[in-house]
Amino acid sequence: MKLIRNILGAVLLMVGLNACFETPTYPIVPQIEILNDDLYYGRGDAGDSIVVALKFKDGDGDLGLSDADNNVFKFAYKYRYRTGVGDNVVNYKFKRENPTFLIDLQDGTTPLPLSTYDFVTPYNCTNWEVIRNSNNVVTDTLFVIFNPNYYNIFVDFYTKNNDGTYTLFDPSLVFKYPNCSIVGYDGRFPILSKDLGKKSPLDGKLTYSLKGAAFDLQFGTKTMQLKISIQDRALQKSNVVTTKDFTLASILR
């Protein structure tokens, strides 16, 4: 099973684009606002969802990714033996037997020994890709560097403490090997412009659903807030917005 931060859980529900008679002028770095009134929690047979909505604007309209985007937006970089022969990916058995072996990224980086990354929590879910067969049995574990630019919407959960401070929820400490299907709630939304080549200003509403089977188990009655940002195709990140404080019960629909 591949490590998928929220491809299993992130679903784009709706994108609304506003048309204007006069072409607006916006910064080329995307800007977003949170729509707290549209924040809600829903339960369903297909899984539970926390739904967030954002207003966005972008000066050149280069927002969104497609399945065909696999260069700088590729899912992960696999390492290979430093032999110059073939593309021999590094699995855990090789790492265990050759801890001082130098490895290179497929796209080329400074060589480093395999001992740099130990097979312990949380790194066994954040640097190792679990391979399963058709019967869902783990058959191999490959060393990878997951590409943060694979995603274009970034969501962090914070839980509120008794003293009024907030603590970042780290799912990599909860979802452990070999159950590495979710180690975060980042995801993708599709291309929003009809013609990326025109570099036209774009604004509208983006509604985004985070699906999960354990929201009630993980958060219960805790008070939370979400911090959210998006990224354009030029890898420019927007401002970070913060939701209102909420509990799952307070936003349940």
Residue 161 is given by DSSP the state -
pTM as predicted: 0.79
Are 114 and 99 within 8 A, CB to CB? yes
- Dihedral in degrees, nearest 10, Cα atoms 220, 221, 223, 228: 30
Closest by CA to 41, choosing from 238, 244, 222, 216, is: 216
Give every CB contact of residue 179 below 8 A, 6+ residues apart in sequence: none
Distance CA 154, CA 13 (A): 16
77, HSE (Cβ side, Cα atoms, 13 Å):
15
Predicted pLDDT at 114: 78
Predicted pLDDT at 76: 75
Predicted pLDDT at 97: 86
Predicted pLDDT at 182: 57
Predicted pLDDT at 5: 42
- Dihedral in degrees, nearest 10, Cα atoms 243, 235, 65, 12: 0
Q: Which residue's structure tokens are 């992130």?
A: 10
Give every CB contact of residue 115 below 8 A, 6+ residues apart in sequence: 99, 100
Residue by residue, pLDDT tens for the chain (253 residues) are 333 344 333 444 444 445 545 778 899 999 999 999 999 999 887 779 999 999 999 999 999 999 888 778 888 766 555 444 444 677 888 888 888 877 765 555 667 787 877 788 777 877 788 888 999 888 888 887 778 899 999 999 999 999 999 999 988 777 777 777 656 789 999 999 988 888 999 999 999 999 887 899 889 999 999 999 999 999 999 999 999 999 999 999 9
